[in-house]
Amino acid sequence: MIKFFLMVNKQGQTRLSKYYEHVEINKRTLLETEVIRSCLSRSNEQCSFIEFKDFKLIYRQYAALFIVVGVNDTENEMAIYGFIHNFVEVLDEYFSRVSELDIMFNLNKVHIILDEMVLNGCIVETNRARILAPLLILDKMSES
Amino acid sequence: MALTVVSQIFPREMIPAVLPLIEDKLQHSKEIIRRKAVLALYKFHLIAPNQVQHIHIKFRKALCDRDVGVMAASLHIYFRMIKENSSGYKDLTGSFVTILKQVVGGKLPVDFNYHSVPAPWLQIQLLRILGLLGKDDQRTSELMYDVLDESLRRAELNHNVTYAILFECVHTVYSIYPKSELLEKAAKCIGRFVLSPKINLKYLGLKALTYVIQQDPTLALQHQMTIIECLDHPDPIIKRETLELLYRITNAQNITVIVQKMLEYLQQSKEEYIIVNLVGKIAETVDTYAPDNAWFIQTMNAVFSVGGDVMHPDIPNNFLRLLAEGFDDETENQQLRLYAVQSYLTLLDAENVFYPQKFLQVMSWVLGEYSYLLDEETPEEVITKLYKLLMNDSVSSETKAWLLAAVTKLTPQAHSSNIVERLIQEFTVSLDTCMRQHAFELKHLRENVELMKSLLPVDKSCEDMVVDASLSFLDGFVAEELSQGAAPYKPHHQRQEEKLSQEKVLNFEPYGLSFSSSGFTGRQSPAGISLGSDISGNSAETGLKETNSLKLEGIKKLWGKEGYLPKKEGKTGDETEVPPVPQESIIMENVDQTIIKKDQSQVLTQSKEEKEKQLLASSLFVGLGTESTINLLGKADTVSHKFRRKSKVKETKSGETTSAQNMPCSYFSSSSDVTYEDDYYLDTLQDRGDKELNKFSLNSELLDSESLTELPSVEKLSSCTLSTPSLFTDDMEGLHSPLSTAASVANEISLASSLLEETSEHMHSDLVEVCNNETISVSSYKIWKDDCLLVVWSVSNKSGLELKSADLEISSAENFKITEQPGCCLPVIETESIKTFQYSVQMEKPFTEGNLFGFINYQMMDTHSLQLEFSVNLSLLDFIRPLKISTENFGKLWLSFANDVKQNVKMSESQAALPSALKTLQQKLRLHVVEIIGNEGLLACQLLPSIPCLLHFRVHGDVLALWFRSSCSTLPDYLLYQCQKVVEGS
């Protein structure tokens, strides 16, 4: 079960955060800073899974952007690790060579994509064409 | 889009309104709509599973959908449902296996492939479901062996996602019923993971190994070297995982090394959560496997100094208990204790070292108890050290209390003690009332050395402390006081009331304060703790064993005969200034207010009487102090419960409706009752008490069923209570005679005979055979009694042989509370005879259906014992009884209930009228019809033991509008489901 999904850059600014379990707003910032600190403290040789309090963090770094997913211990870490990459691939396809700026200025679209892929803490869709289908329809509507 | 929103944020109250719309969408032609609808239903299932119960069939349809997406979405629902109840979905194993086979075989559309792996996350989800289904179930597991083998073989590509699948596969292989070939393959896989240079894989491998090792420790041997390497790995996460792995394989031989490694890690880590976790694990392993004393103490020292104050409070408690109780070998115990004392003294010698408070507390206790074992160092030196600590500002007041208690214990052993005097001087003026009290106690104890020695015996911490919970030794005193015209004891709430009404007349102020601040069960005052450790140590947890020398012991060991004195004086002298000390409030809560009040007024004039009283007061103070410290509160509760019960009986016996005020009064004064009370409490031994209680309830039940079944409840109640006293005397006899068997046998006999009557008088189900073999057959039936559900199993012996020691056991189920009726273990079942066992079952939380599992054990002549398993299905309806109330009461109740559920149900044509609908509800659901007004009806029922539920319904054409309200939040949902079934079904 996925607890939260975070996109944070190296400076510790949160670009996107989505929680699948209720966390109080003021505690979120605290949690995010702790999470990013523990991610930044790790080197490339170390593994991408961190045991953090009573749950696990799985992170992946893309240029200056970290994607961190918090899961409980029933989840398969490697599956999430692969899933993060899948998510980035989808973003890449939609934005054609995605960058941090794309995410900053099209946050709503990133959210739509993420909602297609994860619901209530479960991975629900991984098929790239299907994930993007609703978004493309929306785009078409706004153009016409 | 709306469906996506639905599955993200949705209040459970709105589900009934939207549900039909979403159900429609399940048939939509577009796959995306269908998929979203399933996901929305998943959300509903998450927040309110009982509201979507009726559409489970539609989930099955979704599982067989021609589109992969829809099928995948339904898997989430199944995963959850199977997790809750795997046995209900075994029949679907075949479908899951087929689906997985198709996925693995690449039968899916190409766009589902991810890096040429077919739908990896889908595979993982399926594997997880299979793992749950196949757990401990050979037959289901056999279905999956092929497909698991296939997925292990296919997932050979070098890609992260395939590793994830492999990991899940291994996990599944080890959770289902084992098959050697697959295990071998899985083990090979793990080997590949562990040996991999990629760090993430290594982590995964270790994790898998940790999981696997519980079943197959030999696998660890193969990877020994890798594990050792991982231990020194630069990445702390890998290290953690390795330690976790080692923790699982700890045994007596490798403990030293493993704990050493754990401690090393512990000293490096800073995060609180990790420390707490690891300290707990170390303490646990050390407790179980410690090889020798010195090592044990040293390790625990290290644990205490690092873990310090964040650790779980059980750890120091366990440690102290181990020290106090020791092992079988007495010399070894002494050595252990001696070593502990020595090591603590050396630790305390070190200057400028700060230890965590918990560690200091442990030290002070050990030093106080076992310093006498030291040869070369005198108690004075130890006291000096403790004194130094006491003067230290960084020590918390709780720890100071512990320290002072240790000093008190040491004082009688010391010959001259200037330091003690200095200490007393220092602390009698302390601002902390607790400390001040301790100091006073110490001071007065010192004046009476003899008493002190008897009170603080050397090395007696382990002996069981005797507590007279009834305070029976006070009875004489109380009677005396009462005859002198003292006010009878009044319970707390009553005093409060009186206080309110008489505030101007009587000044209750100081007492009032102390009551409100006490809350004696929850609060364990530091003083109470240290006191407890003084007398009995934490070790007295082993339970308070009642002995016959009860009174003597209770007084002999009393703590603070004199110690209590100064406080009293202080209080009378200056009532407002001394804030009430927690212990005092404990006493006041529990004990006769009279004593203390009397004390106060007479303290100066009648010194002799006062002394006696204080003796009593402090002896009971001991009892309470210890009791609350040792966490025997549960027991205390049951005692008071019984007490209440008994007094109620007494109430009816005297034939008066006495108020709460008079009741204890009469109880105390009537001498016969007092003797009874004494006797009763002599037997507070837990099991005995339970047994007795059982018997008691049985008796009343017996009466119940024998004498009246159809009588109105009021009459029933009165006759029941009227007849109890006679029983009650029976009980007493049983209690007094050491062999109470006679009474219980008599009970059994009458029970057996009453059973048959019962069966005929109450509604009951038909006899259903639940299991049989060539020798016995077990059948069961349910009796729907007014106050409980009685499940009766009758075992008949078909063979021509006698069956020995037949024993029927019902395993406890999570939703049920099962009470065994006596007579369940029969020594012999004679040839071709029938014996019955009965259990009363109560529901602890509402649900639709549940199974009760049990088995019967028996022994044939000359053969070993055999076991036969069976199960009985119980539904919610078994626990529903009509609630007979008037319309007026209905209205009141209706307004007081917060949880309501509304739903429209379509009726089948045959019964599209109010009367017929009513009849069905009344008959099938056992609802009570309160009133019918026009086309509306009021019904009421209750879930046993006493959760009421009200139903209002109205008929429009062929639609029945149901509206439930109850005090329980889930009950209406379940009832609605049942109603729907009944109304739509017929």
What tens digit of pLDDT does each residue of B136-154 get?
Answer: 777 778 878 888 888 777 7
Nearest to A120 among B43, B122, B167 (CB): B43
> Which residues of A are less than 8 Å from B35 in CB distance?
125
Q: pLDDT band at B754, cuts 50/70/90?
A: very low
CB contact under 8 A, A45 and B1: no
Buried b (16+ CB within 10 A) or exposed e, B632-647: beebbebbeebbeebb
Residue B587 pLDDT:
39
pLDDT digits (tens, 9 = 90+) for B784-793: 777 777 777 7
- Nearest chain B Cα distance for residue A24, angstroms: 16
- Out of B76, B111, B207, whose CB is closest to A127? B111
For residue B39, list chain A residues with Cβ-Cβ distance below 8 A. 119, 124
Smallest Cβ–Cβ distance between A82 and the set B42, B161, B235 belongs to: B161
* Highest-scoring range by mean pLDDT, A36-45, B289-298, B680-689: A36-45
Q: Which of A47, A116, A123 sits opposite B235 (nearest CB)?
A: A47
8 Å CB contact of B69 and A125: yes
**What rounded mean pLDDT belongs to chain B?**
64
Segment B695-707 mean pLDDT: 43
Positive/negative CA dihedral, B647, B650, B656, B661: negative
Task: State the nearest Cα–Cα gap between A11 and chain B, in angstroms.
Answer: 23
Express each pLDDT in A79-128 by its tens digit.
888 889 889 989 988 888 888 888 888 888 888 888 888 888 888 888 88
Q: Which residue has the higher pLDDT, B539 or B454?
A: B454
SS3 B824: coil
Handedness of CA B721, B723, B727, B728 (dihedral sign): positive
Q: How far apart are CA B338 and CA B370, in angstroms?
A: 7
Choose among B42, B237, B240: nearest Cβ to A120: B42
Q: Which residues of A touch B78 (CB under 8 A)?
A: none
Question: What are the pLDDT digits (tens) for B150-187?
Answer: 877 776 666 778 888 888 888 888 888 878 888 888 88
Nearest CB partner across the interface for B164, out of A51, A76, A134: A76
CA distance, residue A116 to nearest chain B CA (Å): 8
User: What mean pLDDT do residues B402-418 have?
Assistant: 69
Q: Which residues of A touch B (CB under 8 A)?
A: 42, 45-51, 53-54, 76-79, 81-83, 85-86, 115-116, 119-120, 122-130, 133-134
Distance from CA of B37 to the nearest CA of A (A): 13
What's the pLDDT band for B723 if we cut at 50, 70, 90?
A: very low
Cross-chain Cβ contact A76/B8 below 8 Å: no
**Averaged pLDDT, B35-59:** 76
Query: Where is average pLDDT lowest: B406-410, B469-473, B533-537, B923-927?
Result: B533-537
Of residues B98 and B1, the one with the higher pLDDT is: B98
**What percent of chain B has a predicted confidence (pLDDT) above 90?**
0
The helix/strand/coil state of B417 is coil
Nearest chain B residue (CA) to A135: B1
Residues 6+ apart with CB under 8 A from B518: B582, B585, B586, B588, B589
- Give yes or no for a contact between B543 and B687, defined as CB atoms under 8 angstroms apart: no
The closest CB to that of B73, out of A124, A126, A128, belongs to A124
pLDDT of residue B886: 82
Rounded Cα gap, residues B919 and B924, in angstroms: 8
Nearest CA in chain A to B159: A82
The alpha carbon of residue A78 is apart from the nearest alpha carbon of chain B, in Å, by 5
Average pLDDT of the residues in B532-542: 37
Between A57-71, B245-259, B374-388, the lowest mean confidence (pLDDT) is in B374-388
Looking at the predicted structure, is the pLDDT value of residue B507 above 60? no
Percent of residues, chain B, with pLDDT higher than 70: 49
- Most confident range (mean pLDDT) of A27-36, B4-13, B331-340, B902-911 is A27-36
A49: nearest CB among B32, B121, B200: B200
Give the tens place of pLDDT for each residue, B538-579: 333 333 333 333 333 333 333 433 333 333 333 333 333 333
Chain B residues with CB under 8 Å of a chain A CB are 1, 4, 7-8, 32, 35, 39, 42-43, 46, 69, 72-73, 76, 111-112, 114, 119-122, 124-125, 159-161, 163-165, 167-168, 171, 199-200, 202-204, 207, 234-235, 237-238, 240, 273-274
CB atoms inside a 10 Å sphere around CB B515:
20
Q: What is the pLDDT of residue A11?
A: 84
* Residue that wins the pLDDT comparison between B832 and B618: B832
The minimal CB distance from B114 to the residues A76, A86, A133 is found for A86
Q: How far apart are CA B953 and CA B963, in angstroms?
A: 6
- CA B586 to chain A, closest CA, distance in angstroms equals 39
Q: Which among B111, B200, B238 has the least Cβ separation from residue A78?
A: B200
Within B109-186, strands assigned E span: 113-114, 117-118
Mean pLDDT in residue range B743-751: 42
pLDDT band at B13 (very low <50, low <70, confident <90, very high): low
Q: What is the pLDDT of residues B509-523, one digit of tens each?
A: 444 333 333 333 333
Contact between A45 and B114 using a beta-carbon 8 Å cutoff: no
Residue of B556 and B44 predicted with greater confidence: B44
> Tell me, what DSSP letter sits at residue A75?
S
Distance from CA of A67 to the nearest CA of B (A): 16
Q: Which of B217-231, B517-531, B697-711, B734-748 has the highest mean pLDDT?
A: B217-231
Interface A–B counts its CB contacts (< 8 A) at: 106
Q: What is the reported pLDDT for B874?
A: 76
Q: Which residues of B touch A86 (CB under 8 A)?
A: 114
Give the residue with greater pLDDT, B439 vs B642: B439
Confidence of residue B487 (pLDDT cuts 50, 70, 90): low
Interchain CB distance below 8 Å, B160 and A81: yes
Q: What is the structure's pLDDT at B38?
A: 81
- Say if the Cβ atoms of A76 and B203 lie within 8 Å: no
Å from B40 to nearest chain A CA? Answer: 10
| Separation in Å, CA of A115 to nearest CA in chain B | 8
Higher pLDDT, B493 or B901: B901
Of B7, B164, B235, the CB nearest to A82: B164
CA–CA distances in Å: residue B829 to residues B744, B822, B833, B859, B863: 20, 16, 7, 10, 15
Pick the residue with more confidence: B485 or B971? B971
The answer to whether B966 and B942 are in contact (CB under 8 A) is no
Cβ burial B132-152 (10 Å sphere, 16+ → b, else e): bbbeebeebbebbbebbbebb
Exposed/middle/buried for residue B197 (C-beta within 10 Å: 0-12, 13-18, 19+): exposed
Judging contacts by C-beta atoms under 8 Å, the chain B residues touching residue A2 are: none
DSSP annotation of B159: S
Name the pLDDT band for B714 (thresholds 50, 70, 90): very low
Task: With cut-offs at 50, 70 and 90, classify the pLDDT of residue B330.
Answer: low
Q: Are B618 and B558 in contact (CB under 8 A)?
A: yes
- The pLDDT of residue B595 is 41
- Contact (CB<8Å) A119/B202: no
Higher-scoring residue by pLDDT: B682, B359: B359
Residue to mutate among A117, A127, A128, A137, with most B CBs inside 10 A, is: A127
**Exposure of B589 by Cβ count < 10 A (0-12 exposed, 13-18 middle, 19+ buried)?**
middle
The 10 Å Cβ neighbour count of residue B457 is 13
Residue of B nearest to A48 (CA): B200
Q: For the ranges B254-258, B741-745, B817-821, which has the lowest average pLDDT?
A: B741-745
Instruction: Give the predicted TM-score (pTM) of the model.
Output: 0.51
More confident call, B343 vs B827: B343
**Could you please report the per-residue DSSP string of B74-122?**
HHHHHHHHHHH-GGGGGGGHHHHHHHHHHHHTT-S-GGGEETTEE-HHH
Phi-psi region of B45 (alpha: psi -120 to 50; beta: other; left: phi over 0): alpha
If one compares B586 and B494, the residue with the highest pLDDT of the two is B494
Best of B79, B121, B167 to disrupt the A interface (most A CBs within 10 Å) is B121
User: What pLDDT sits at residue B535?
Assistant: 38
How many angstroms separate the Cα of B636 from the Cα of each of B469, B532, B590, B629, B782?
Answer: 8, 16, 11, 12, 36
Summarize pLDDT for B187-242 with one digit per residue, the tens: 888 887 877 777 788 888 888 887 777 777 677 777 777 777 777 777 777 777 77
> Which residues in A lie closer than 8 A to residue B240 (C-beta atoms)?
51
- Taking contacts as CB-CB distances below 8 angstroms, the residues of chain B near A78 are 160-161, 163-164, 167, 200, 204
Residues of chain B with Cβ-Cβ distance to A123 below 8 Å are 121, 125
Facing residue for A46 by CB, picked from B4, B199, B207? B199
Q: What is the pLDDT of residues B880-914, one digit of tens each?
A: 788 788 888 888 888 777 777 777 777 766 555 66
| B581, amino acid identity | V
Of B661, B657, B651, whose CA–CA distance to B498 is shortest? B661
Cα angle B611, B619, B423; round to 5:
80
pLDDT tens digit sequence for B820-838:
655 444 555 566 666 777 7
Query: Rounded to a whole number, what is the distance in Å from the CA of A133 to chain B's nearest CA?
Result: 9
